Structure 1
Amino acid sequence: MSATPAASANKMKKDESFLGKLGGTLVRKKRSKEVSDLHEEGKNAINAPLLPAGTDIHPEDTLLEENAERVMLDPTSRENLKFKDLVKVLIDWINSELEEDRIIVKDLEEDCYDGQVLQKLFEKLSGRKLNVAEVTQSEIGQKQKLQTVLEAVNEMLRPHGWTIEWSVDSIHSKNLVSIVYLLVALAMHFQAPIRLPEHVSVQVVVVKKREGILQTALVTKELTSTTEMMMGRFERDAFDTLLDHAPDKLNVVKTSLITFVNKHLNKLNLEVTELESQFADGVYLILLMGLLEDYFVPLYNFFLTPESFDFFSHNFSFLYMSNLLSPKKLMISAVRFPDVVNLNLKSTLRVLYNLFTNYKNSE
């Protein structure tokens, strides 16, 4: 049975009414989007004069909470030849260190952000196994791994005066400057057999949000200095000359220093016969400084019978932190105490000679 003309007319009116409502909804949504776009355009126009020329601020960079900040590498610095050379040297070094693990790094930002490469590198350099999951796919798992790795790195570096220029968030967000800072610190601390480019600086764009408005500034970051400062090599001194040109007199110097050391350690029924090995774990230095300064060092502050590099490092860190032994106090300009741990004779002689000079009249 076909619909009557009246029924058809009523249906058309209902359809037109529905389409009208739908059209009105679509128009309102379109106008709302236009208003939103106009607001965003206006906000960008306000912020634009604050941005350094040539700097691209991505949409996600505007999603900062009040008083929060984000740091990005300036595009010009990214193309700087010395910086690119530094990145290449670090990549080649990592690949050389992790060759046995069949790990190949091609891009520092993409390959280091999740903590996997940094974990393997730290374990290889320090000889210390970290308690972390081998494979982590989730963001939470990656950050947990990074947290463990960076805590171990910071604990090792901080006592030696390193400024921590990295964090879990900066590494995980693929901040190349933070990653490079971390790798340079590790290379310098472990005296990597590489030559880092000297005087490499970059500019970073610091974006902050104040009262809802983005404020930006260019800040210069120094990533490397001179080779001598980075690798702990300073101006040659008497010990360099002695070992290079008068090795026959070396035994005379060693005998004098052993006599000085034993004069005091004998009070504890201890005796030194070999300078290189017997001072490498820091125990005799701690006990010697306690005797020279005339106070007792509580045994719980250090490892009396250390069995690994980590324990050796802890003892030397204690020497620093307790101010028992410091370059400033003894004016030791050419000593890196990790060298003493690594049985470097010249470094050990420098430390003991400075002690001899300062305490030769002590009873």
Structure 2
Amino acid sequence: QVSSPQHRRNNITNSPTTSAKMRKDESFLGKLGGTLARKKKSKEVSDLHEEGKNAINAPMLPTGTDIHPEDTLMEENAERIMLDPTSRETLKFKDLLKVLIDWINSELEEERIIVKDLEEDCYDGQVLQKLFEKLSGKKLNVAEVTQSEIGQKQKLHTVLEAVNELLRPHGWTVEWSVDSIHSKNLVAIVYLLVALVMHFQAPIRLPEHVSVQVVVVKQKREGILQTALVTKELTSTTENVFINYLFLPTERDAFDTLLDHAPDKLNVVKTSLITFVNKHLNKLNLEVTDLETQFADGVYLVLLMGLLEDYFVPLYNFFLTPESFEQKVHNVAFAFELMQDGGLKKPKARPEDVVNLNLKSTLRVLYNLFTNYKDSE
């Protein structure tokens, strides 16, 4: 009897010899599997131990914070600070950046310097040099244009040395360095600019209570990185800062003295200014009874300038019935431009201060007009 190929295959598969071989193979695979499983389990324990060690070394590292490879190339005990991306996007921080940029551009307008990004425009020392020279009235001995990294750092060293010599005696903590500024550390740049604003008492209002979180990376022994999340306060309240630095040279004017020491005479000043503005606004059948509120939208300021300088202000240049905050700020800023065109100094107040019903700012602006046009008919 001839068996079929299929029958022969079945017999071979089911033979006692084959069954024994399979059991042996299964036993070997079982042992191998057990070994692999034990190794896998051991690796998991090791990984868990490493994870725990990292958790201890970096207890406050924020989720989603990217540490680039170049940020880990540091010498032992070196430290690097990076702005947390979440803090960068907060409205207060963005507002602070905008105020600082607008201030720099205003100060350096004659130099035809326009700053758009603090990190990209301040790191090489050129803008900081011009700004310090404008604020301090001192000329620094530095090269005008420096393209090389060495030249840029040399310029930064000279600029920061002059800044530190000026600020340190007055109690300022230096939160910046040549390396931090040149590496485009935004927190260090902002610290420096805020210090300059406060020391020179710039006519701007910084947003209050602006804080950011930074990731501090430290290089420990054997290449271990230690990270922590730290809160940095960039600005506090304007009042507190000025109280702390009252001993700095100030440019306090008559209105500071008036409001601080003789508030009873405030109504006398208000009456004089109201009489002055109404003398001219009455020509358009307009009348002011409240200085603080009626000039806040900028309309009366624009019309008043036209009357004082004897010209008609085209209505398309300003908003006759402003509705938004931005439109009111536009009107006041436009009035300030007309004042400068008339030969007056740029007002110390910000347009936003007038719009925000800051009485002292409004009085300063109107008093400046009064002293220059009080004899105008």
Q: Deviations over 1:283-310 (max 9, x none)?
A: xxxxxxxxxxxxxxxxxxxxxxxxxxxx
Q: 1:1-363 alignment to 2 at 5 Å? A: 49=55, 50=58, 51-211=61-221, 212-232=223-243, 240-245=259-264
Which TM-score applies when normalising by structure 2?
0.51
Query: Do the aligned residues in 1 keep the contact of 2:129 with 2:159 (CA within 8 Å)?
Result: yes
- Change in 2 beyond 3 A, CA 1:61/1:225: same
Q: Deviations over 1:216-237 (max 9, x none)?
A: 00010000000112344999x9
Query: Do the aligned residues in 2 keep the contact of 1:205 with 1:219 (CA within 8 Å)?
Result: yes
Letter in 2 for 1:226: T
Supply the distance in 2 between the matched residues of 1:94 and 1:238 (Cα, whole angstroms): 29
Query: Do the aligned residues in 2 keep the contact of 1:227 with 1:233 (CA within 8 Å)?
Result: no
Contiguous gaps of at least 5 residues in structure 2:
1-46, 247-255, 267-377
With 62-71 and 167-176 compared, the bigger mean Cα shift is at: 62-71
Letter in 1 for 2:224: I
CA drift of 1:170 comes to 0.4
CA drift of 1:65 comes to 1.2
Letter in 2 for 1:207: V
Aligned length: 204
Q: Deviations over 1:311-336 (max 9, x none)?
A: xxxxxxxxxxxxxxxxxxxxxxxxxx
Which TM-score applies when normalising by structure 1?
0.53
Q: Deviations over 1:25-59 (max 9, x none)?
A: xxxxxxxxxxxxxxxxx9xx868643421110001
Query: Do the aligned residues in 1 keep the contact of 2:180 with 2:188 (CA within 8 Å)?
Result: yes
Contiguous gaps of at least 5 residues in structure 1:
1-41, 248-363
- Change in 2 beyond 3 A, CA 1:242/1:70: closer
Query: Do the aligned residues in 1 keep the contact of 2:123 with 2:181 (CA within 8 Å)?
Result: yes
Supply the distance in 1 between the matched residues of 2:242 and 2:260 (Cα, whole angstroms): 20
Supply the distance in 2 between the matched residues of 1:234 and 1:240 (Cα, whole angstroms): 19
Corresponding residue for 1:354?
none
Q: Deviations over 1:60-119 (max 9, x none)?
A: 011111111110000110111100100010000000000000000000000000000000
Identity of aligned residues (%): 81
Query: Do the aligned residues in 1 keep the contact of 2:258 with 2:265 (CA within 8 Å)?
Result: no
Supply the distance in 1 between the matched residues of 2:203 and 2:196 (Cα, whole angstroms): 12
Cα RMSD over matched residues?
2.6
